[in-house]
Structure 1
Amino acid sequence: MKTVNLERNRLAAYVQAQIKQFFPLDDQADLALIDAHVDEALLRVGRCIDQVRMWTPGQFDVLHSSQYCIFLYYLSNTIWRREKVRGVCTKLFLLNKALNAIDCFYEIELPEVFFIGHSVGIVLAKATYGNHLVLYQNSTVGKNHGDAPVLGEGVIMYPNTAIIGRCHVRDRSYLAQGVSVINRDTEPGRIAYQGHGGSLVFKLPGHDILADFFRDV
């Protein structure tokens, strides 16, 4: 994975400098942990980049906000998986929130391939997320009375959408702008529109929407 706008061997120090700018705490262990796991995080973000149709395969641009947002999530999640160290993972989570206005906790298991169109206002709970997920601004996945949603493969959440509570959002469900799915299931391979009284209306798409976003789907 080629890094753009920053040499790969400077990436760990770059992330640490950003952390120190926002959270000027004296913790020398952070840099060592970031440096130890940055390569795995790059491999993970590289899988996303290679699959996203509008991105150049094999290139990670640290000044591309969506790519960097995904990278910071993968870095925090990788360190959490391998080390179970909350301090640096929390700082990376907060850094991502400060830079990209996303609430994506490091314990959440996002899929191997996903795409963020615009990160502002995205809030993600601990739920089940299928591969080839698409997220746009102000999309929310949340629990309701402890019940968490299950998102299948190829779910697209357009701006201002929400999936809350005991939901099964089935494969290739596409939530139109402004749709809220609350304690309901969706129909696979359909666009979901908001109906009356919280109901949903499902329609067949006119083309393969998921292929607009990803290669090899």
Structure 2
Amino acid sequence: MITSIPVEKIVLLLEKQLNSNFTLVDAEKTILEHSFSKVMEKLEYCFLHTDNKYYSCMTDVGVKKTYFNPFHSCQYTIFLYYYARIIAMQTEGRLLADKLYYLNKMMNGVDLYHQIELPAVWGCEHPMGSIMGRATFGEYFFFYQGCTVGGDHNTYPVIGHHVRLFANSTVLGESHIGNNVWIGAGALVKNTDIPDNSLVFGQSPNLIIKQRKDI
């Protein structure tokens, strides 16, 4: 992976951001440094499988490589989520994971708690105001601004592969979203099953569901 700044400066940048907002103790710095390679592996795999032109670049010898720029908000959103998730799941640094989660909210305006398991390949665009809550997320999940995924009376969505949530759309409760589904801007899907290869508009229980013609 190619990075916009030297790799060692990415960790230093993150340490400075955390220390400026929450304080950072030496043990937490050690966890950050030891977890960095695992985070970059996750990030590279995710970026490798996206067609977003900003997530790759050409080298001087004409080889296409994945590209990470920590000053690209969406890329940094994904980076911070993976960092918080790995630290929460694989170390004793739960408080540090909370700080990373909070930093992501502060910097990028998105709520991606480290206990929520997002897939190996996912993405976002203009993610401000979006909340990804408890759900089962399929691969290639993608969301825009103002989107919400969450529960209803302790039931949670199951979302298939290649699902895209457009701006200000919501999926709640016992909803099963099929593969290759696009949830249209402003749509509300609540306790509703959506078949594969669908376009969804409106609000439950009066949704408009159309077959996608581009599949």
Instruction: Provide the residue aligned with 1:214 in structure 2.
Output: none
- Alignment check: 8 A CA contact 1:180 1:198 kept: no
1:189 pairs with 197, 200, 208, which one?
A: 197
Separation in 2 of the partners of 1:135 and 1:63? 20
1:201 pairs with 188, 193, 208, which one?
A: 208
**Post-superposition CA distance 1:58-102 (Å, at most 9, x none):** 111111110011000001101112114211000000000000001
Deviation, structure 1 residue 198? 3.2
User: Whose RCO is larger (CA < 8 A, sep 6+)?
Assistant: 1
- Alignment check: 8 A CA contact 1:167 1:184 kept: yes
Instruction: Provide the residue aligned with 2:39 in structure 1.
Output: 41
Match status 1:99 vs 2:107: yes
Q: Could you state the TM-score of these two structures normalised by the residue count of structure 1?
A: 0.90
Separation in 2 of the partners of 1:26 and 1:163? 36
Deviation, structure 1 residue 26? 4.9
Instruction: Provide the residue aligned with 1:7 in structure 2.
Output: 6
- Tell me the secondary structure at the aligned position of residue 10 of structure 2: helix
- Tell me the secondary structure at the aligned position of residue 30 of structure 1: helix
**Post-superposition CA distance 1:162-217 (Å, at most 9, x none):** 0011110111111011100001111110101116x632111122324xxxxxxxxx
Runs of at least 5 residues in structure 1 that lack an aligned partner in the other structure = 209-217
Separation in 1 of the partners of 2:151 and 2:26? 36
Greater alpha carbon shift after TM alignment, 99-108 vs 49-58: 49-58
2:166 pairs with 158, 164, 170, which one?
A: 158
- Tell me the secondary structure at the aligned position of residue 147 of structure 1: coil
- Alignment check: 8 A CA contact 1:13 1:31 kept: no
Deviation, structure 1 residue 10? 2.0
Runs of at least 5 residues in structure 2 that lack an aligned partner in the other structure = 57-64
Separation in 2 of the partners of 1:161 and 1:124? 12
Over 3 Å counting, the alpha-carbon distance change for 1:20 and 1:26 in structure 2 is: closer
Separation in 2 of the partners of 1:193 and 1:126? 23
- Alignment check: 8 A CA contact 2:171 2:188 kept: yes
- Alignment check: 8 A CA contact 2:101 2:114 kept: yes
Residue 131 of structure 1 aligns to which amino acid in structure 2?
E
- Alignment check: 8 A CA contact 1:128 1:150 kept: yes
Instruction: Provide the residue aligned with 2:140 in structure 1.
Output: 132
Q: Could you state the TM-score of these two structures normalised by the residue count of structure 2?
A: 0.91
2:184 pairs with 176, 183, 186, which one?
A: 176
- Alignment check: 8 A CA contact 1:150 1:169 kept: yes
How many equivalent pairs are there?
A: 205
Instruction: Provide the residue aligned with 2:49 in structure 1.
Output: 51
CA RMSD of aligned residues (A): 1.3
Residue 205 of structure 1 aligns to which amino acid in structure 2?
R
**Post-superposition CA distance 1:112-162 (Å, at most 9, x none):** 001111110110112110000011000100111111111111110000000
Over 3 Å counting, the alpha-carbon distance change for 1:201 and 1:104 in structure 2 is: same
Identity of aligned residues (%): 26
Residue 104 of structure 2 aligns to which amino acid in structure 1?
N
Q: Once superposed, which parts of structure 1, at least 4 consecutive aligned residues long, lie more than 4 Å away?
A: none
